[in-house]
């Protein structure tokens, strides 16, 4: 887990929003290609943790047919399951899902209200926000299943109804890093100091 004692504010999507990230996190876009709908910051202090902010079209319904976890109730948990599928995770365990009250995100609520009045001149709809936390077992670069790394994944989803968009804030933090995994070598990163190395 990276240190949260020192943070810095970074601009995302051309200054459309700002977030605070740990001071050791760096923008990865100069190092590799990042899609236009994502912003990715990774820890340069040898933990291999990363923060992803992503804009996705709101899905019409929760289709859990391909999910690795049981049917879910929150948007965040739905995206947690979809992330596991997209990453070809071998397993996914959802530990917790919860709604976020509007009182915990006054700036987001105010921003949506302003944008809605500007676009359509009507009162702002409520912002549905939720968070989900669990683990993914991921073997990258076609490694064997027994070389899977265990990553704690936290997903916060802010559903913005005025633009039919889900704003995702995703934090990935490695917990178990198996000896022999190619991730660090390929990405040019040292093995995470905070992860438990398990020999094959």
Q: Which 3-state string (H, E, C) describes 92-139?
A: EEEEEEEECCHHHCHHHHHHHHHHHHHHHCCCCCCCEEEEEEEEEEEC
Residue 2 lies in a domain: no
Average pLDDT score, the chain: 78
Model confidence at 176, pLDDT cuts 50, 70, 90, reads: confident
Residue 144 lies in a domain: yes
Instruction: Check residue 185 and give its pLDDT.
Output: 39
Residue 193 lies in a domain: yes
Instruction: Check residue 120 and give its pLDDT.
Output: 52
Residue 1 lies in a domain: no
Instruction: Check residue 180 and give its pLDDT.
Output: 53
Residue 95 lies in a domain: yes
Residue 26 lies in a domain: yes
Give the tokens for residue 155.
Answer: 């997903």
Over 50: is that where the pLDDT of 182 sits?
A: no
Number of domains, the chain: 1
Give the whole-angstrom CA distance, residue 116 versus residue 47.
40
Instruction: Check residue 124 and give its pLDDT.
Output: 57
| % of the chain surpassing 70 pLDDT | 68
The strand pair at 25-27 and 38-43 is best described as: antiparallel
| Domain range for 21 | 7-198
* Better-predicted residue by pLDDT, 5 or 84: 84
Residue 104 lies in a domain: yes
CATH number at residue 174: 3.40.1000.10
Query: CB-based contacts of 73: which residues, under 8 Å, 6+ apart?
Result: 97
Residue 86 lies in a domain: yes
The string of pLDDT tens digits covering residues 116-163 is: 665 555 555 677 899 999 999 987 655 555 667 899 999 999 988 778
The string of pLDDT tens digits covering residues 50-77 is: 999 999 999 876 555 555 555 668 899 9
Task: Look at 15-29, 70-84, 91-105, 172-186 and tell me which has the smallest mean pLDDT.
Answer: 172-186
């Amino acid at each position: 887990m990276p240190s949260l004692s020192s943070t810095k504010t970074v601009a995302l999507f051309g200054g459309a929003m700002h977030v605070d990230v740990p001071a050791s996190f760096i923008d990865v876009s100069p190092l590799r290609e990042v899609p236009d709908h994502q912003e990715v910051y990774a820890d340069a202090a040898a933990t291999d943790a990363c923060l992803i902010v992503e804009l996705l079209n709101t899905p019409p319904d929760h289709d859990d047919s391909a999910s690795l976890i049981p049917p879910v109730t929150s948007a965040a948990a739905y995206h947690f399951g979809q992330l596991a599928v997209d990453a070809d995770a071998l397993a996914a365990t959802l530990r917790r899902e919860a709604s976020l009250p509007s009182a915990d995100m006054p700036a987001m609520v105010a921003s949506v209200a302003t944008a809605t009045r500007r676009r359509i001149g009507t009162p702002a709809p409520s912002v549905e926000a939720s968070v989900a936390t669990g683990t993914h077992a991921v073997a990258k670069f076609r490694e064997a299943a027994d070389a899977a790394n265990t990553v704690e994944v936290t997903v916060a989803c802010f559903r913005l109804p005025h633009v039919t968009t889900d704003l995702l804030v995703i934090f990935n933090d490695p917990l178990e890093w198996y000896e022999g995994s190619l991730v660090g070598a390929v990405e040019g990163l040292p093995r995470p100091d905070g992860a438990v190395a398990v020999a094959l």
